[in-house]
Structure 1
Amino acid sequence: MPAPSTRTAPTTTTAQTAQTAQTPPTPPTPPSDTADDAAPRSLRKRAAILVAAEQVFLAKGYLGTSMDEVAARSGVSKQTVYAHFGSKETLFVALVSAMTTTAGDEVHPSDPAAAAATDDPGPYLREYAERQMAVVLTPRILALRRLVIGEVARFPDLARALYDSGPARAIESLAATVRSFADRGLLNVPDATEAATMFNWLVMGGPLNEVMLLGDAVRLNRAEQRRHAAECVRVFLAAYPPE
């Protein structure tokens, strides 16, 4: 009887093993774009453009800003920048609107009257004043304010938008809070808007004027902001004591 044949397994050389270990796996094929994917991607590009625009506009001013640099910093093409914002002016307006709206949202509660649902106005007003100074006196917001003031002749409507999103919104929000306190007899306030205007200027008048004219070096630190807020609240409550 013939002996059964024996098959020898193929031999793998050391070089072949090393080559196999070094060969990276084939990356998966990315999924094809869908309408659902395209929308978030477009929003991400828009957000990246606004971030880059903030860096360039605040550093170089309106005239010194080029759309080429914004595109380079945002990592998109110049054509993409123009697809989202048709001109440098449009981009500038969108940037100012976005920055002021975001800053305002950080300061003001969505429902001022509900947020002030407390029987002691003092702590609420101190926290509000500290929050307002912390946001408005940040270097980037100060730089934006200086930039818009410098371009007021070129963009008068933009200055109005900054005012409406800044001081006017602060006074309107604070007036609703003051009115809520007055309705419960916690403050004696004949005119809530006038009282809110007084408080807003107590808090922001001195610190903002100093830093706008003398530079960021004189900006109040957090401890100074807390002391200033406490003194503003003391004066305000003395002017409008409970009934």
Structure 2
Amino acid sequence: MTAPKRLTDRKREAILQAAITEFRASGFDITSMDKIAATAGVSKRTVYNHFPSKEELFTEILHKLWASIRARADILYQPGLTLREQLRALLLAKLQLLADHNFLDLARVAIAATLHSPERAQYMVARMGEREEGLMVWIRAAAADGRLKPLDPDFAAQQLHGMLKTFAFWPQVTLNRPPLEAPEQQRIVESAIDMFLACYQA
């Protein structure tokens, strides 16, 4: 049985959710700590007790984004399975994350807040790249096993990620389209695998 959250933990979560709501509605620069406190139903002092600055609050939101990515276990290369079934598992796991409403909310906040700050944008892109290394590791292992042609693992992984995000991330984040349903996810995954294997399978 899961222990109930402490009051301080509930307040911290309420502040984070309020910040996500306000950053989405007004943007990072316009949103004030007073507004976040009001939306969270706590005092401004309580907000500052948890987060000394708006920048630190935003950083915590980014950390939640990275944690949601990291929580999806990487699928390791398995010599005994076909490339197609391994790629299918990898890409479907990625699409399940991209269809998660909490993930999309966090991504919208993070992207909106980086638009006018090159430093924040560089930080976000770098961290996102770190969290997408699982597919690159799998590609490197498959190539080392002789099942893929000589290739640049990072480039090939970015190609696959790009094929997924074209349909299952950017339209949702920028145009507020709904996450893809399972049949459309399957279609995109199989098409991406076809293209990848046609180009790289040994």
TM-score above 0.5, yes or no: yes
Aligned residue in 2 for 1:28: none
Aligned residue in 2 for 1:241: 201
The structure with the larger Rg is 1
Out of 124, 127, 142, the position equivalent to 1:162 is: 124
Aligned residue in 2 for 1:178: 139
Flag the 1:153–1:229 CA change in 2: closer, same or farther, 3 A.
Answer: closer
Q: Shift of residue 43 of structure 1? A: 4.7
Task: Give the TM-score normalised by the residue count of structure 1.
Answer: 0.67
Q: Is 1:150 the counterpart of 2:112 in the alignment?
A: yes
Q: Shift of residue 189 of structure 1? A: 3.5
For the aligned residues, what is the CA RMSD?
Answer: 2.8
Q: Shift of residue 224 of structure 1? A: 0.1
Indicate the SS of the match to 1:188.
coil
Instruction: Output aligned runs, 1:187-206, within 5 Å.
Output: 187-206=148-167
Flag the 1:148–1:212 CA change in 2: closer, same or farther, 3 A.
Answer: same
Moved more, 139-148 or 220-229: 139-148
Moved more, 193-202 or 72-81: 72-81
Distance 1:197 1:234 in 2: 16
Q: Is 1:223 the counterpart of 2:187 in the alignment?
A: no
Task: Give the TM-score normalised by the residue count of structure 2.
Answer: 0.78
Is residue 189–residue 195 contact of structure 1 (8 Å, CA) maintained in 2? no
Distance 2:170 2:14 in 1: 32
Q: Shift of residue 86 of structure 1? A: 1.4
Indicate the SS of the match to 2:149.
coil
Per-residue CA distance 1:98-151 (angstroms, 9 max, x = gap) = 232123113452xx5xx2234222122112212212222444444444444433
Q: Shift of residue 62 of structure 1? A: 2.4
Percent identical across equivalent pairs? 30
Distance 1:231 1:153 in 2: 32
| Counterpart residue type for residue 102 of structure 1 | A
Which contiguous aligned blocks of 4+ residues in structure 1 show a shift greater than 6 angstroms?
A: none
Flag the 1:160–1:100 CA change in 2: closer, same or farther, 3 A.
Answer: farther
- Which runs of no fewer than 5 residues in structure 1 stay unpaired? 1-39
Q: Shift of residue 41 of structure 1? A: 6.1
Q: Shift of residue 72 of structure 1? A: 4.1
Flag the 1:75–1:215 CA change in 2: closer, same or farther, 3 A.
Answer: closer
Aligned residue in 2 for 1:104: 69
- Which runs of no fewer than 5 residues in structure 2 stay unpaired? 1-5
| Counterpart residue type for residue 164 of structure 1 | A
Is residue 114–residue 121 contact of structure 2 (8 Å, CA) maintained in 1? yes
